[in-house]
Structure 1
Amino acid sequence: MDTGAQRMNARSRLSTVWLTVVGASVLLFLCLPVLIVAPMSFSSAQSLEFPPPSLSLRWYENLLGNPIWIDAGKNSLMLATLSSSAAIVLGTLAAYVLVRGNFPGRHLLEANFMAPMIVPSIITAVALYIFFARIGLLGSFTGLVLGHTILAVPYVVLIMQAAIRSFDIRIEQVAATLGASQRQILTMVVLPNLAPSAAAAWIFTFVMSFDEVVVTLFISGTTTTIPKRMFSELMLQVNPTITAVATLLIAFNLVALAGLLLLTRRRGFPGGMG
């Protein structure tokens, strides 16, 4: 028995070591582009070169001094802010109806909300291109906001559904017995308690909209965003300024991820009642 137990312990330790090695290798493989791109953004070389011959901020100066990149950054920020805010409102209301409602076709409606998250983005982009061309929104900033909102709503619905399900329905029932209307229950009882989850969903959809490129390329027209500008630069030439943009985007995503972790740990997730 002792020999059998020792063999099992040895196999368990070997499995743990093997799993650690594989996990570390995968993590290193995923982080390797970041470990290469970030140092290259501080290179003084005229072209992409790794390792950099010396350190310099020339590509960050070129980025911040270029009005095309500045305008693209402003457009990306405005687009992400508007689309994520619209998605939070629409997605939260939809999630509340889907969770608390009981009506025919509810599952079909839920599947319809999840469709943009399942369908490949290229198909969504082509569909939006055709639809917006018929209604006159193709190439407009309004159409671009609507397109990004359509992509973001499913993620909001998914997150807020989990948050609403974890929220005790008896609290809503108590509010109803005290004379609160359905609108008062939603605005004064449910939404304040779901605020941390809504904030996390907003940050997630903001980052997603900020990084979106496929749908943007199809329906943006002359409006330029950071991802679209990066795509255009890579198509025309390999400009080292791209490494500075990529490094800033990586830093931006890390800050957003830290914000998500802070929200979920301080208030509890998904219901915000922790």
Structure 2
Amino acid sequence: MRERSYGAGFAQVLGALVLAFLVLPIFAVVPASFNRSSFIKIPPQALSTRWYEAFFSDPAWLAAILTSTKVALLATFISLVIGTLAALGLERVEARTKGLLTGLMLAPLIVPVIMTSIALYYVMLDIGLHGSVLGLALGHTLLCMPFVVLNVGISLARLDPSLPRAAAGLGAEPLYIFRTVTLPAIRPGLAAGGAFAFITSFDEVVISIFLSGVSAKTLPIQLWEQIRIEFTPVAAAASTVILIATVLLFLLVQFIRSRGAT
């Protein structure tokens, strides 16, 4: 018994070290954003918020934040609608077909993003949506929708199938059954899938590079262009803003999941 406890403790310590190795370099941008000098130094020799003031007073950065928010909200909405319908349809097919269709739904997460980006670039050019908010949102939807399908599918798997049948036996219409029986059951999956979809869209870089334009430039694209021109602590401040938004949404997902499990 003592050997098992030692083994479990060693596994926890090893896991903590691996997690720190993966996460700590990402959080290095936080102290770098508080440099007083014009060059990034870790740790900073003197602390200052001048780069956050420069970030939030620059119209280009604010416009990029607004564009990223618009694109992420639109992509999340489209992903929730299509992903929920897909998850509901997958519950109605046999197991073998369901496995095949689920694999197709998850293909955007498996296929290299650069290949998807090139294909989307030519498609958006042909239909006139290149460089628009709608084009960016549709491109991001490909990466966002699998998260909705997975999370809603998990919620549907927990739903007792006798409940919708009982409602139908009592004369309820399909839309009424969905609104009163299915929707409350999959609400945690919708919330978690929507949060993951928003994070994925807000942080997406590769597809945005191919689909963005002068009038539709997201925050990651603005950050990429800033780093290419001049790598100043304002880039670290922008990275910190993205990091904070991602962490907050991740905590929201965990809270929703814990509430759903309860």
Q: How many residues align?
A: 261
Q: Is the 8 A contact 1:117 1:155 kept in 2?
A: no
251-260 or 201-210, which deviates more:
251-260
Matched, 1:72 2:64: yes
Correspondent of 1:174 among 160, 166, 169? 166
Q: Hey, what does 2:44 align to over in structure 1?
A: 52
Distance of 1:218 and 1:131 partners within structure 2: 11
161-170 or 31-40, which deviates more:
31-40
Q: Hey, what does 1:229 align to over in structure 2?
A: 222
Q: Is the 8 A contact 1:138 1:219 kept in 2?
A: yes
| Distance verdict in 2 for CA 1:103–1:46, change over 3 Å | closer
| Distance verdict in 2 for CA 1:35–1:115, change over 3 Å | closer
Matches within 5 A, 1:64-213: 64-101=56-93, 107-213=99-205
What is the CA distance between 1:192 and its match in structure 2? 2.0
* Alpha-carbon displacement from aligned partner over 1:228-273 (angstroms, at most 9, x marks no partner): 11111111221210111111222111211221121111232xxxxx
- Identity over aligned pairs, percent: 36
Using the size of structure 2 for normalisation, the TM-score is 0.92
Q: Secondary structure at the match of 2:35?
A: coil
* Alpha-carbon displacement from aligned partner over 1:34-65 (angstroms, at most 9, x marks no partner): 44221121121121112211111100000000
What is the CA distance between 1:107 and its match in structure 2? 4.7
Distance of 2:101 and 2:5 partners within structure 1: 49
Q: Is the 8 A contact 1:156 1:205 kept in 2?
A: yes
Using the size of structure 1 for normalisation, the TM-score is 0.89
| Distance verdict in 2 for CA 1:171–1:126, change over 3 Å | same
Q: Secondary structure at the match of 1:138?
A: coil
Q: Is the 8 A contact 1:44 1:56 kept in 2?
A: yes
Structure 2 unaligned segments of length 5 or more: list them: none
Let me know the Cα RMSD of the aligned residues: 2.0
Q: Hey, what does 2:33 align to over in structure 1?
A: 41
Q: Secondary structure at the match of 1:100?
A: coil
Segments ≥4 residues shifted beyond 6 Å: none
* Alpha-carbon displacement from aligned partner over 1:106-147 (angstroms, at most 9, x marks no partner): 554433222112111111111111222222222222211111
Q: Is the 8 A contact 2:70 2:133 kept in 1?
A: no
Q: Hey, what does 2:257 align to over in structure 1?
A: 264
